[in-house]
Chains A and B, each alone.
Chain A
């Protein structure tokens, strides 16, 4: 079915490959059901006798909890259970790096929307009413909402207010340049804004355990955190991946998982929970807001001499993955440039703002706004073309990061920049353009004479996979057997979370490539009978789970070769693997898969660990990263300076992909990532007022519409990565990193304004130079 719709590779010299193998634009197995609205998302889960769960959240940013009385809720007919902190039998807290976040707040609440209790009832309306009926007596406490002030404030949590302080000292710290530019930059709090709200269904099992069907990014790490809080052995907690409606980092942390399991175990009934859109904004972590200062030193010729930076990330009330985000922000603060000397002083801080954690780009996004604005400032100070300055300082293979790590993989920075700027520019705006195509769009606010065009370029670098000594691995099992009619069928078992990125397609392509089969089935992802796949994060699954599948397939090939050797009575090394068959090198005899499988199925499992990394030392030095991904973006914008409104006209990109295993899916990642990057540049921000979330809705948390999305032209820069399966790097994050900074640079170009904050708000442009 898939093979028939996928094109055959007809490039001259291309070797014969199974259709829809690696490198082909194979169709997604879940594509048609998703487009037709037939795909089952986690919010569609249903079971007879199920109850509905609802969370009660703190209306306060910071408060002491004096009393919690669930009895008014329990008195409502149809209410089956109320659970609070007192009902958590195991560890009262959870967390990705350190369990510092309460399952339910017990003595204090530390952010607006923190869970205090959960209820289960016969009907969602009843559950909602019951949650409201729980009586909680709060004693509000003055919140600490400024990250700089939090460093000196009394501790908001027993673990203190400083999550991590990381200093990178590299080279000669006294080095100075003849030309010095300096700037302060700020990035607001972005939300992942995935379409499918948090949802799941917990089902108590006969062995006293629990089955949880849930949309998540990493089944096994959820399971371990749930089991700890339930005080239950991990094997009694069985997670099953339900249809995921987007993630972008926002499903790495536990949200409703433990609450659901407590309610199901407490009632002995299946319990379903679906967050409303507004609750979703309170239910997951956000991108860290950042305040940054940079000073760049260069020679008159434009050689970077030193980068100094101070970075403060507001981690919000709980740790989540702040420590790892901070590491990225510090390591990649200089951008993809050769920097011999650097002093980076980076802090991740606890405040009473909403918790922040993983989001696409993970720390590299915030600093990219800083380093790229600095490169433009430096180019201006040097009288140099900004693209030329970047090409001049671009990292290459065997250069060092400021962590001292030598980059041994592909680092095609120059190729990406050249590819991004090689695309033709769009036509200049004219009086005949459709008025809706101008800044202001459907509001028809701009005439031709009101529009200024600008062009900007930005480049980024980020690590792929987990870093700093984390034992990052993925497990996969492949089974090959004769199906109905004797045709070989492969089945892949992996706990890899398909969150929309297209791993399911790539998994099929890899098996087709390796085993020469057409039919590849994907078993449902779960924790029951396979080890961890790691997280669908950090652009890592093609490399990690893809690698595990590739290596499992290689083991299957060895088993089949052994079978053939036994049947031919020859040595295994005289049997060669062809596409879907084995060949006797001596006699030229061949055996197809069907014949080889007549003796029964073959199966192999592989746990794929990537090359070890090490933690950064006291000077922020060390081989902390597996590899890096590079992208360059050029943005063309039209700006209406009078109103401060922006229309992004075009974004072109060159992206370092290693090798595109599915060019259509890579392009999809690029277009989606650019949409998210543009969003942060010009509109996406969680607005806080003293820690209180002011816009938890898609009415007021604005994400780009089709009218905001520009034309995209992408060049996939294919320089194979030595360590990676097929040479393929991750591709998910880079499009979301430098696309926004390129847009900001283009707005600066159009307006002549400094604009040091993302997102740019209309007033930042229209009132610049006026009394605000």
Chain B
């Protein structure tokens, strides 16, 4: 068990293993988990969060482990955006890498983690569309419990999850599919911007199936199943091509699947339009990549 320090008036646990982290939370139920802090600390600054105790996860080595197998990629919850953006992880999941590279600044990418992105469950969470498109599964530990659930089961609403208060995201398991994948993110600025709309588009060549999901256009990542079904049928999988009409139709159906809102960042109408455009572009790029 890591030591417990006393700050100004915040108690800090510094576990080095998942077991210690879970134990620390069990003995200090009012504590909150702190990973990269890129959402947590902003909320503290805005006075929206002020836990009497935190359990810091940075020293838990097993949370930072990532493994690429022939069938799946297991990403420890403490894996940072910087980690996801390069190396073997980026080779295995290029769209996740592209998403990770759009997050904040280099400083933010060195701190923020995939576990935090999942547990925060912001509609604009940049890793979520790809995780949703690939039906990633999330392993969760609580005091004396361990369970696994789909990302769609875990993320239940705007910044709402199925996690129990004392549960910790341990890792995210992403299936490896044979086929190209793309991530596109729309923001008003060319870097360091919260998504107005984002898209992950994946071709599963073996299953002959298109998969997609969109961010910032609904309370949770949107999976356009109707669009996927229709396009999967429309693609000529032998020649790996689709008519321009079919691609446009995919964009239209994708936009129809979304339920965007108007807020200070953009309008619902624009977000819908943006999804239509980036869904089609993402698909075109996937087809071009394998052609």
Query: Is A683 in contact with B189, judged by CB distance below 8 angstroms?
Result: yes
Residues of A within 8 A of B285 (CB): 447
CA distance A128 to B195 in the complex (A): 32
Residues of A within 8 A of B191 (CB): 441-442, 705-708
Q: Is B245 an interface residue (CB 8 A)?
A: no
Residues of B within 8 A of A91 (CB): none
Query: Is B270 in contact with A767, judged by CB distance below 8 angstroms?
Result: yes
Residues of B within 8 A of A699 (CB): 42, 194
Query: Is A772 in contact with B267, judged by CB distance below 8 angstroms?
Result: yes
Q: Is B184 an interface residue (CB 8 A)?
A: yes
Query: Is B46 in contact with A694, judged by CB distance below 8 angstroms?
Result: no
CA distance A440 to B193 in the complex (A): 10
Query: Is B185 in contact with A702, judged by CB distance below 8 angstroms?
Result: no
Size category of the B interface is 35 or more
Q: Is A450 an interface residue (CB 8 A)?
A: yes
Query: Is A443 in contact with B184, judged by CB distance below 8 angstroms?
Result: yes
Residues of A within 8 A of B189 (CB): 441, 683, 702, 704-705, 708
* Chain A interface, DSSP helix/strand/loop, else mixed: loop
Residues of A within 8 A of B263 (CB): 694
Distance in Å: Cβ of B216 to nearest Cβ of chain A: 11
A residues 659-689 near B (Cβ < 8 Å) are: 682-683, 687, 689
A residues 692-718 near B (Cβ < 8 Å) are: 694-695, 699-700, 702, 704-708
CA distance A441 to B46 in the complex (A): 29
Q: Is B27 an interface residue (CB 8 A)?
A: no
Give the residue name and chain of the B residue nearest to A128 (CB). B47
Residues of A within 8 A of B69 (CB): none
B residues 185-238 near A (Cβ < 8 Å) are: 185-196, 198
Residues of B within 8 A of A132 (CB): 47
Q: Is A159 an interface residue (CB 8 A)?
A: no
Query: Is A450 in contact with B281, judged by CB distance below 8 angstroms?
Result: yes
- Of the candidates A441, A647, A700, A763, which one forms a contact with B267 in the assembled complex, judged by CB atoms under 8 Å apart? A763
Query: Is B190 in contact with A440, judged by CB distance below 8 angstroms?
Result: yes
A128-B47, A132-B47 known; A442+B190 contact, CB < 8 A = yes
Stretch at the interface among B57-65, B136-144, B271-279: B271-279
Q: Is A276 an interface residue (CB 8 A)?
A: yes
Size category of the A interface is 35 or more
Query: Is A761 in contact with B188, judged by CB distance below 8 angstroms?
Result: yes
A128-B47, A772-B267 known; A762+B196 contact, CB < 8 A = yes
- Of the candidates B184, B185, B190, B265, which one forms a contact with A707 in the assembled complex, judged by CB atoms under 8 Å apart? B190
Total cross-chain contacts (CB, 8 A): 110
CA distance A682 to B188 in the complex (A): 8
A residues 382-441 near B (Cβ < 8 Å) are: 436, 439-441
Query: Is B270 in contact with A763, judged by CB distance below 8 angstroms?
Result: yes
Distance in Å: Cβ of A134 to nearest Cβ of chain B: 14
Query: Is A763 in contact with B266, judged by CB distance below 8 angstroms?
Result: yes
CA distance A450 to B47 in the complex (A): 43
CA distance A772 to B270 in the complex (A): 7
B residues 136-156 near A (Cβ < 8 Å) are: none
Query: Is A445 in contact with B264, judged by CB distance below 8 angstroms?
Result: no
Give the residue name and chain of the A residue nearest to B274 (CB). A643
Distance in Å: Cβ of A711 to nearest Cβ of chain B: 14
Query: Is B188 in contact with A702, judged by CB distance below 8 angstroms?
Result: yes
Query: Is B184 in contact with A439, judged by CB distance below 8 angstroms?
Result: no
A439-B190, A694-B264, A707-B191 known; A766+B185 contact, CB < 8 A = no
CA distance A644 to B193 in the complex (A): 16
Query: Is A770 in contact with B273, judged by CB distance below 8 angstroms?
Result: yes
Residues of A within 8 A of B267 (CB): 763, 772
Residues of A within 8 A of B266 (CB): 761-763
Distance in Å: Cβ of A77 to nearest Cβ of chain B: 12
B residues 105-121 near A (Cβ < 8 Å) are: none
A132-B47, A687-B264 known; A443+B186 contact, CB < 8 A = yes
Q: Is B250 an interface residue (CB 8 A)?
A: no
Query: Is A278 in contact with B186, judged by CB distance below 8 angstroms?
Result: no
Q: Is B98 an interface residue (CB 8 A)?
A: yes
Query: Is A643 in contact with B190, judged by CB distance below 8 angstroms?
Result: no
- Chain B 176-190 interface 0/1 with A at a Cβ cutoff of 8 Å (1 = within): 000000011111111
Residues of A within 8 A of B101 (CB): 442
Residues of A within 8 A of B46 (CB): 278
A447-B285, A766-B270 known; A441+B190 contact, CB < 8 A = yes
Distance in Å: Cβ of A195 to nearest Cβ of chain B: 14
- Of the candidates A278, A445, A682, A762, which one forms a contact with B185 in the assembled complex, judged by CB atoms under 8 Å apart? A445
Distance in Å: Cβ of B196 to nearest Cβ of chain A: 7
Give the residue name and chain of the A residue nearest to B288 (CB). A447
Distance in Å: Cβ of A408 to nearest Cβ of chain B: 44
Interface-centre pick from B102, B186, B263 (highest chain A CB count, 10 A): B186
Query: Is A763 in contact with B190, judged by CB distance below 8 angstroms?
Result: no
A125-B8, A442-B101, A442-B102 known; A695+B264 contact, CB < 8 A = yes
CA distance A683 to B273 in the complex (A): 19
Query: Is B194 in contact with A700, judged by CB distance below 8 angstroms?
Result: yes
Residues of B within 8 A of A651 (CB): none
CA distance A442 to B108 in the complex (A): 15
CA distance A766 to B8 in the complex (A): 51
- Chain B 242-269 interface 0/1 with A at a Cβ cutoff of 8 Å (1 = within): 0000000000000000000001111101
Q: Is A771 an interface residue (CB 8 A)?
A: yes
Q: Is A83 an interface residue (CB 8 A)?
A: no
Residues of A within 8 A of B47 (CB): 128, 132
Residues of A within 8 A of B195 (CB): 443
Q: Is B45 an interface residue (CB 8 A)?
A: yes
A278-B46, A700-B264 known; A445+B184 contact, CB < 8 A = yes
- Of the candidates B45, B184, B194, B265, which one forms a contact with A444 in the assembled complex, judged by CB atoms under 8 Å apart? B184
B residues 23-59 near A (Cβ < 8 Å) are: 42, 45-47
Residues of B within 8 A of A761 (CB): 188, 266, 270
CA distance A642 to B184 in the complex (A): 14
CA distance A436 to B196 in the complex (A): 18
Q: Is A499 an interface residue (CB 8 A)?
A: no
CA distance A447 to B277 in the complex (A): 12
Query: Is A705 in contact with B269, judged by CB distance below 8 angstroms?
Result: no
Q: Is A507 an interface residue (CB 8 A)?
A: no
A442-B101, A443-B102 known; A708+B273 contact, CB < 8 A = no
Query: Is B269 in contact with A772, judged by CB distance below 8 angstroms?
Result: yes
Q: Is A742 an interface residue (CB 8 A)?
A: no
A residues 705-744 near B (Cβ < 8 Å) are: 705-708
Residues of B within 8 A of A762 (CB): 186, 188, 196, 266, 270, 274
- Chain A 2-29 interface 0/1 with B at a Cβ cutoff of 8 Å (1 = within): 0000000000000000000000000000
- Of the candidates A643, A647, A706, which one forms a contact with B186 in the assembled complex, judged by CB atoms under 8 Å apart? A643
Interface-centre pick from A128, A445, A447, A772 (highest chain B CB count, 10 A): A445
Distance in Å: Cβ of B247 to nearest Cβ of chain A: 13
Interface-centre pick from A442, A642, A645 (highest chain B CB count, 10 A): A442
CA distance A290 to B145 in the complex (A): 60
CA distance A704 to B188 in the complex (A): 10
Nearest 6 CB-CB pairs, A to B? A441-B190, A443-B185, A694-B264, A763-B270, A707-B191, A707-B190
Chain A to chain B contacts (Cβ below 8 Å), 29 pairs: A439-B190, A440-B187, A441-B189, A441-B191, A442-B102, A443-B102, A443-B187, A443-B193, A443-B198, A444-B183, A444-B185, A447-B285, A643-B186, A644-B270, A689-B264, A695-B264, A695-B265, A699-B194, A700-B194, A702-B188, A702-B189, A705-B190, A705-B191, A705-B192, A762-B196, A762-B274, A767-B269, A767-B270, A770-B269
Task: Other than A440-B187, A683-B189, give 18 A-B pairs with Cβ distance below 8 A.
Answer: A132-B47, A442-B185, A443-B102, A444-B102, A445-B281, A447-B285, A450-B281, A644-B270, A645-B186, A645-B188, A645-B190, A689-B264, A694-B264, A702-B188, A761-B266, A762-B188, A763-B270, A763-B273
Q: Which residues of chain A have a CB within 8 Å of any CB of chain B?
A: 123, 125, 128, 132, 276, 278, 436, 439-445, 447, 450, 642-645, 647, 682-683, 687, 689, 694-695, 699-700, 702, 704-708, 761-763, 766-767, 770-772
